[in-house]
Amino acid sequence: MTTRQQVAEVEGWFTLDGAEPRLLGLRCPDCGTYVFPPRAIACPNPECPATELESVELSRRGTVWSYTVNHYAPPEPYVAPDPFEPYAVAAVELADEKMIVLGQVAGPLDGLAVGAPVELVIDTLYEDDEGEHVVWKWQVAS
Ligand SMILES: [Zn+2]
Protein backbone atom coordinates (compact mmCIF):
# COMPACT_ATOMS: atom_id res chain seq x y z
CA MET A 1 0.00 0.00 0.00
CA THR A 2 1.36 3.42 -0.92
CA THR A 3 0.95 6.57 1.09
CA ARG A 4 -0.78 9.15 -0.99
CA GLN A 5 0.35 12.74 -1.12
CA GLN A 6 -1.74 14.93 1.16
CA VAL A 7 -2.76 18.19 -0.49
CA ALA A 8 -4.22 20.99 1.60
CA GLU A 9 -7.37 22.08 -0.20
CA VAL A 10 -6.81 25.66 0.95
CA GLU A 11 -3.24 26.79 1.49
CA GLY A 12 -2.33 28.42 4.80
CA TRP A 13 -5.63 27.94 6.63
CA PHE A 14 -4.55 24.92 8.71
CA THR A 15 -1.54 22.79 9.58
CA LEU A 16 -1.10 19.24 8.31
CA ASP A 17 0.26 17.94 11.60
CA GLY A 18 -1.42 14.54 11.83
CA ALA A 19 -1.77 14.29 15.60
CA GLU A 20 -2.47 17.89 16.54
CA PRO A 21 -3.72 19.79 13.51
CA ARG A 22 -4.51 23.46 14.01
CA LEU A 23 -6.47 26.13 12.21
CA LEU A 24 -4.30 29.13 11.38
CA GLY A 25 -5.86 32.48 12.23
CA LEU A 26 -4.90 36.06 12.86
CA ARG A 27 -5.04 38.02 16.09
CA CYS A 28 -5.03 41.75 16.57
CA PRO A 29 -2.26 42.63 19.07
CA ASP A 30 -4.07 45.85 20.03
CA CYS A 31 -7.62 44.67 20.84
CA GLY A 32 -7.32 40.85 20.80
CA THR A 33 -9.84 40.28 17.99
CA TYR A 34 -9.38 36.91 16.26
CA VAL A 35 -9.85 36.38 12.52
CA PHE A 36 -10.44 33.19 10.56
CA PRO A 37 -9.79 32.50 7.72
CA PRO A 38 -6.46 34.39 7.93
CA ARG A 39 -6.90 36.84 5.08
CA ALA A 40 -7.87 40.17 6.68
CA ILE A 41 -5.62 43.10 5.84
CA ALA A 42 -6.60 45.10 8.93
CA CYS A 43 -8.36 44.54 12.25
CA PRO A 44 -12.08 43.86 11.56
CA ASN A 45 -13.05 45.60 14.81
CA PRO A 46 -14.52 48.92 13.58
CA GLU A 47 -13.31 50.68 16.75
CA CYS A 48 -9.71 49.50 16.32
CA PRO A 49 -7.26 51.21 13.92
CA ALA A 50 -4.68 48.37 13.90
CA THR A 51 -3.46 47.25 10.48
CA GLU A 52 -0.82 44.71 11.55
CA LEU A 53 -2.28 41.36 12.61
CA GLU A 54 -0.23 38.49 13.99
CA SER A 55 -0.51 34.84 12.87
CA VAL A 56 -1.74 32.46 15.56
CA GLU A 57 -2.77 28.82 15.89
CA LEU A 58 -6.38 28.54 17.08
CA SER A 59 -7.94 26.16 19.62
CA ARG A 60 -8.29 22.53 18.52
CA ARG A 61 -11.39 22.12 20.66
CA GLY A 62 -14.76 23.76 20.86
CA THR A 63 -18.46 23.14 21.28
CA VAL A 64 -21.17 22.82 18.64
CA TRP A 65 -23.08 26.10 18.40
CA SER A 66 -25.32 24.88 15.58
CA TYR A 67 -25.24 22.27 12.84
CA THR A 68 -27.12 20.99 9.83
CA VAL A 69 -27.17 17.69 7.95
CA ASN A 70 -27.08 17.96 4.15
CA HIS A 71 -29.03 15.24 2.35
CA TYR A 72 -28.44 16.57 -1.19
CA ALA A 73 -25.20 16.72 -3.14
CA PRO A 74 -24.07 20.34 -3.57
CA PRO A 75 -23.41 21.56 -7.13
CA GLU A 76 -19.93 21.46 -8.67
CA PRO A 77 -17.14 22.18 -7.89
CA TYR A 78 -18.14 19.99 -4.92
CA VAL A 79 -16.86 16.48 -5.57
CA ALA A 80 -19.61 14.18 -4.33
CA PRO A 81 -18.99 10.54 -3.49
CA ASP A 82 -21.08 8.16 -5.56
CA PRO A 83 -23.46 7.12 -4.07
CA PHE A 84 -23.87 10.42 -2.23
CA GLU A 85 -23.74 10.19 1.53
CA PRO A 86 -25.39 12.79 3.77
CA TYR A 87 -22.89 14.83 5.76
CA ALA A 88 -23.08 17.41 8.50
CA VAL A 89 -21.69 20.93 8.73
CA ALA A 90 -21.19 22.35 12.20
CA ALA A 91 -20.71 25.91 13.47
CA VAL A 92 -18.31 25.47 16.36
CA GLU A 93 -17.45 27.97 19.09
CA LEU A 94 -13.70 27.71 19.73
CA ALA A 95 -12.78 27.01 23.35
CA ASP A 96 -10.44 29.96 23.93
CA GLU A 97 -11.24 32.47 21.20
CA LYS A 98 -15.06 32.16 21.48
CA MET A 99 -15.34 32.69 17.74
CA ILE A 100 -17.49 30.53 15.45
CA VAL A 101 -15.76 28.44 12.77
CA LEU A 102 -17.72 26.39 10.24
CA GLY A 103 -16.55 22.96 9.21
CA GLN A 104 -17.74 19.66 7.87
CA VAL A 105 -18.22 16.95 10.50
CA ALA A 106 -15.94 13.90 10.26
CA GLY A 107 -16.91 10.36 11.11
CA PRO A 108 -20.21 9.06 12.44
CA LEU A 109 -22.77 11.68 13.38
CA ASP A 110 -23.69 9.90 16.63
CA GLY A 111 -23.49 12.33 19.50
CA LEU A 112 -23.66 15.38 17.26
CA ALA A 113 -25.79 17.92 19.13
CA VAL A 114 -25.79 21.58 20.08
CA GLY A 115 -23.33 21.92 22.96
CA ALA A 116 -21.42 18.72 22.12
CA PRO A 117 -17.64 18.96 22.50
CA VAL A 118 -15.72 18.56 19.24
CA GLU A 119 -12.10 18.55 18.18
CA LEU A 120 -10.32 19.46 14.98
CA VAL A 121 -9.16 16.73 12.61
CA ILE A 122 -7.70 16.74 9.11
CA ASP A 123 -9.76 14.53 6.82
CA THR A 124 -10.19 13.65 3.16
CA LEU A 125 -12.32 15.94 1.06
CA TYR A 126 -11.80 13.98 -2.16
CA GLU A 127 -9.06 12.13 -4.02
CA ASP A 128 -7.74 12.55 -7.54
CA ASP A 129 -4.48 12.07 -9.50
CA GLU A 130 -2.77 14.79 -7.43
CA GLY A 131 -3.37 12.87 -4.22
CA GLU A 132 -5.64 13.10 -1.23
CA HIS A 133 -7.18 16.55 -0.90
CA VAL A 134 -7.66 17.27 2.79
CA VAL A 135 -9.48 19.89 4.80
CA TRP A 136 -10.20 20.52 8.49
CA LYS A 137 -13.29 18.91 9.94
CA TRP A 138 -14.91 18.75 13.35
CA GLN A 139 -15.19 15.39 15.09
CA VAL A 140 -17.38 14.71 18.10
CA ALA A 141 -14.99 14.30 21.02
CA SER A 142 -15.37 11.19 23.13
ZN1 LIG B 1 -7.90 45.33 16.79
Number of domains in the chain: 1
Rounded distance from Cα 12 to ligand 1 centre (Å): 21
Whole-number Å distance, alpha carbon 51 to ligand 1 midpoint, is 8
CA-based torsion, 80, 86, 91, 93: positive or negative: negative
pLDDT of residue 1: 46
3-state secondary structure 8-75: ECCCCCECCCCCCCCEEEEECCCCCCEECCCCCCCCCCCCCCCCCCEEEECCCEEEEEEEEEECCCCC
Answer yes or no: is 65 within a domain: yes
Question: What is the spatial distance between Cα 13 and Cα 29, in angstroms, rounded to a whole number?
Answer: 20
- Contact (Cβ atoms closer than 8 angstroms) between residue 136 and residue 102: no
The CA 44 to ligand 1 mean position distance, Å, reads 7
Contact 84, 64 (CB under 8 A): no
- CB 63, CB 92: distance < 8 Å: yes
DSSP H or E run through 105: strand 100-105
pLDDT of residue 91: 98
Does the residue 116 lie in any domain?
yes
pLDDT given for residue 69 in this prediction? 94
39: in domain: no
Domain assignment of residue 96, yes or no:
yes
Would you state the pLDDT for residue 125? 84
Residue 26: closest CA among 10, 13, 11: 13
Q: What is the pLDDT along the chain (142 residues), one digit of tens a residue?
A: 456 788 888 889 999 876 789 999 999 999 999 999 998 889 999 999 999 999 999 999 999 999 999 998 888 887 777 888 889 999 999 999 999 999 999 988 889 999 999 999 999 888 888 888 899 999 999 7
- Ligand 1 centre to CA of 52 (Å) is 9
Query: What is the DSSP-derived secondary structure letter of residue 114?
Result: T
pLDDT value of residue 22: 94
pLDDT score of 68: 96
* Domain, as residue range, for 102: 60-140
pLDDT of residue 80: 79
Residue 43 lies in a domain: no
Ligand 1 centroid – CA 40 distance (Å): 11
Q: What is the pTM of this model?
A: 0.86
**Sign of the torsion formed by the C-alpha atoms of 108, 109, 111 and 115:** positive
